Structure 1
Amino acid sequence: MLDFFERLDKFFKYKELNDNKVTLQAGISNGIIGKGRKRGSLSLDNISKILYTYPELNANWLLTGTGEMVNIPDGAMILNPHVLKSDNAVDRQSIPLYSVEATAGLVNLFDSNQTPSVIDTIKIPNLPKCDGAVFVMGDSMYPLLKSGDIVAYKQIQNFKDGMFWGEMYLISVEVDGEEYVSVKFVQKSDLGDDYIKLVSQNTYHQPKDIHLSKVRALAIVKASIRLNSMS
């Protein structure tokens, strides 16, 4: 389990914050957070200032690691864009929502000769260009993604040279002659340039090195969408 400052840093990264920004915004004395890191503790008064300044931060998660990092109001939809520096936002676009199961896998979904049925369309302004969206299955990226969340993606044609290391990908690989579809972080492999390492957010899932010849389809995740309530 992450300790207090690891959880705090995770929230800082999520909000694109740093110690200096938080010090100014929360009214904390200069250098207190840095000193707290060295001591391994932060006073309750300063923790309270942080929680008051960022009400979306789940106090229970910050202090104990229990629950979700961010407080989500009932019925809210949470959108997490995954934007590269090279991305250009599109003011208006209709992103088709597909079913991977209905198209019998990601390879068929990406096949230009196929015409997959569209479940619905998603319209969110100022997202990077996306080719489509699908529902997430499984818990390998929990808690970042949950089963039933939606990811919007941009298809990658060049598996070897079109990779942005450390980013999140929708990927199809061949395992014992069958297609295995998942969402993973893709990192460089210690086995060489012909391999990639698939890494889960959920630490119960071990990283796995895959030969590039086993990759059947690949798309970089541009946004994730979570519906907190279906009612």
Structure 2
Amino acid sequence: MDIIKKVNDIAVEFFDDNNSRFASKMGTSETNIRNYRSKIIPKVDFIVRLCNELEISLEWMFNNSGPMRVIQTETLKPVAGQPVIQTEHRKDEGVPLYDSSAQLSLVDLFEGHGSIIDYITIPGLPKSDGALHIKGDSMYPLLKSGDIAIYKKVRNIEDGIFYGEMYLLSVNIDGDDATMVRYIQKSDLGVEYVRLVSQHINHSPKDMHLKHIKALALIKASIRINSMH
């Protein structure tokens, strides 16, 4: 993972190799930008903010997976090189998109109780298990309510977490189920806990015991449909 090289790629792609414009966009100094392009790896919060500002894929940035830019589509009509939401439900042609309007937990969905409403095909998409429409604003502006998150199920929650990545998770506290999207980070409370972090500034981080997480999935990609016309 060569972050410095990718910062250079971003400088060329978005700012015509101009450090001053790059610095102005990110609210930092030209000295910092020069350092990030040559010898200093930026902090994670800067990288995440950079990806949010320019709609750069975190998968590309951290995992060398997929295109640089977040894949978006303006309509549901097939467009060359863009995500295609199939109008016919053919399992062999894409990732199943599940009905998120039904009152089902992620556990129910993983156990096969969900209703498939369509299939999604994206060129170069890593192996994925399903897709859901996101609800809520906890990951805004990276994800908005109504965006589609494409995920890969985590079979072993205790050993299958990659800290710093974004996850779809189902939690149960005092008998109440909730499905949410969060970054998962290490917790200061010990290995039996994780820290759930939102993108939205109004949502505070929360430490949670692993026993409360009933289902977990790594988000592989997201789709934002800007217009239905």
Q: 1:193 aligns to what?
A: 191
Closer/same/farther in 2, CA of residues 172 and 27 from structure 1, 3 Å limit? closer
Q: How many residues align?
A: 179
Q: CA deviation at 1:138?
A: 0.2
Instruction: Return the match for 1:69 from 53, 57, 78.
Output: 53
1:18 equivalent in alignment to 2:8: yes
Q: CA deviation at 1:104?
A: 1.3
Q: 1:96 aligns to what?
A: 96
- Distance in 1 between residues matched to 2:183 and 2:23, nearest whole Å: 33
Q: CA deviation at 1:117?
A: 1.6
Q: 2:105 aligns to what?
A: 105
Instruction: Return the match for 1:162 from 136, 145, 160.
Output: 160
If the length of structure 2 is used for normalisation, what is the TM-score? Answer: 0.66
Closer/same/farther in 2, CA of residues 175 and 27 from structure 1, 3 Å limit? closer
Q: 1:140 aligns to what?
A: 138
Deviation string for 1:15-35 (max 9, x for gaps)? 943399549x7254xx76899
Closer/same/farther in 2, CA of residues 100 and 27 from structure 1, 3 Å limit? closer
| 5+ long unaligned stretches in structure 2 | 31-51, 68-91
Q: Tell whether the 8 Å contact from 1:173 to 1:217 is kept in structure 2 after alignment.
A: yes
Q: Tell whether the 8 Å contact from 1:96 to 1:121 is kept in structure 2 after alignment.
A: yes
Q: CA deviation at 1:41?
A: 5.6
Q: 1:175 aligns to what?
A: 173
Q: Tell whether the 8 Å contact from 1:105 to 1:179 is kept in structure 2 after alignment.
A: yes
**SS of match in other structure, 2:145:** coil
Q: 1:227 aligns to what?
A: 225
Structure 2 residue identity aligned to 1:17: V
Q: 1:8 aligns to what?
A: none
Closer/same/farther in 2, CA of residues 105 and 206 from structure 1, 3 Å limit? same
What is the identity percentage for the equivalent residue pairs of Structure 1 and Structure 2?
A: 47
Q: CA deviation at 1:80?
A: 4.5
| 5+ long unaligned stretches in structure 1 | 1-12, 43-67, 71-77
Q: CA deviation at 1:196?
A: 0.5
Structure 1 residue identity aligned to 2:203: H
Instruction: Return the match for 1:150 from 142, 148, 151.
Output: 148
- Distance in 2 between residues matched to 1:149 and 1:106, nearest whole Å: 17
Structure 2 residue identity aligned to 1:104: L
Structure 2 residue identity aligned to 1:26: D
What CA RMSD, in Å, does the superposition of the two structures yield over aligned residues? 3.7
Q: 1:61 aligns to what?
A: none
